[in-house]
Structure 1
């Protein structure tokens, strides 16, 4: 990756809806060169996708939490099974496998605290591998959705 690739990534993180011509103008390249570089970044997996950001409050899912789960036995099959289960739940935004006193952090967005309670009691705690969980409500959710790419020294 060089400075031009880094510039393309920076611009696309700010606005992924730029046309190739607009992107080329912003990074100082010809549109054909920009397209070749963008496609190479996509093929290599550096540019992993283009996504719409949804305001969760406006769709009725304004209560967010991080839920730390402990599971046993801690085996590959249990880890994979719990991950698959959690990701299949419509309230789940992300699942993290972590080290420490908990095994998973699960980021959820729900309409209400009652809905979260129901989800935890009816679905998650009903799983035999779950031996405990701890819920932390998110009062404010601020994220940095951009990475400042740097050109690699050649």
Structure 2
């Protein structure tokens, strides 16, 4: 159902992030299919293509939309084993943290890295060929890293993607 366009004669409710119903509709559509053409998004939302383009550009400039990415299947790329590796640093000096942050994203198999609070300092999502490759990754890249004190590896059996509800964008 099209969302009524933003009309200067009426107030449009916005949420805490400054998003109105049109922005939220655009974000829902982009989250479902970021390859959809601007004209198709505009048509589905019920706004002019030029307005849609300006809205998407503004969402990018504000950092709400960080980019447009392909959702790749690691198994289809020959990376049939995924894991989350909890990492504790040996010290929290600026030099060790900078070295770890510099090195980790470049390591083969790292899908993403999260700086977290709690007992662990980082969580690494990795995708590798098999259990031998996972063992080698931990031994070659983590336990030998001067900043790393301890690691704990959990295998990922299934990835259950979140919903738009989790981002507050559900209808």
> Would the aligned equivalents of 1:69 and 1:132 in 2 still touch at CA under 8 Å?
yes
- Is 2:114 the counterpart of 1:99? no
- Is 2:162 the counterpart of 1:149? no
**Higher mean C-alpha displacement, 110-119 vs 41-50:** 41-50
Distance in 2 separating the partners of 1:19 and 1:128:
47
By how many angstroms is 1:101 displaced? 1.7
- The equivalent residue for 2:153 is 135
- Is 2:87 the counterpart of 1:45? no
Give the secondary structure class of the aligned counterpart of 2:119.
coil
- Is 2:140 the counterpart of 1:122? yes
Report 1:1-154 matches (<5 A). Answer: 1-144=19-162, 146=164, 147-149=167-169
How many residues align structurally?
A: 150
Distance in 2 separating the partners of 1:100 and 1:45:
27
Query: For residues 72-95 of structure 1, what are the alpha-carbon distances to aligned partners after superposition, in whole Å with 9 as ceiling and x for unaligned?
Result: 211232222112211111200111
Give structure 1 stretches of 5+ with no counterpart: none
Give the secondary structure class of the aligned counterpart of 2:104.
helix
By how many angstroms is 1:49 displaced? 0.6
By how many angstroms is 1:9 displaced? 0.7
The answer to which structure, 1 or 2, has the higher relative contact order (CA under 8 A, 6+ apart) is 1
> Would the aligned equivalents of 1:10 and 1:148 in 2 still touch at CA under 8 Å?
no
Distance in 2 separating the partners of 1:141 and 1:21:
32
Query: For residues 31-62 of structure 1, what are the alpha-carbon distances to aligned partners after superposition, in whole Å with 9 as ceiling and x for unaligned?
Result: 11111111111111111110011111110112
Aligned residues: CA RMSD:
1.5
Distance in 2 separating the partners of 1:73 and 1:40:
41
Q: Which runs of 4+ in 1 moved over 2 A?
A: 145-150
Give the secondary structure class of the aligned counterpart of 1:37.
helix
TM-score calculated relative to the size of structure 2: 0.82
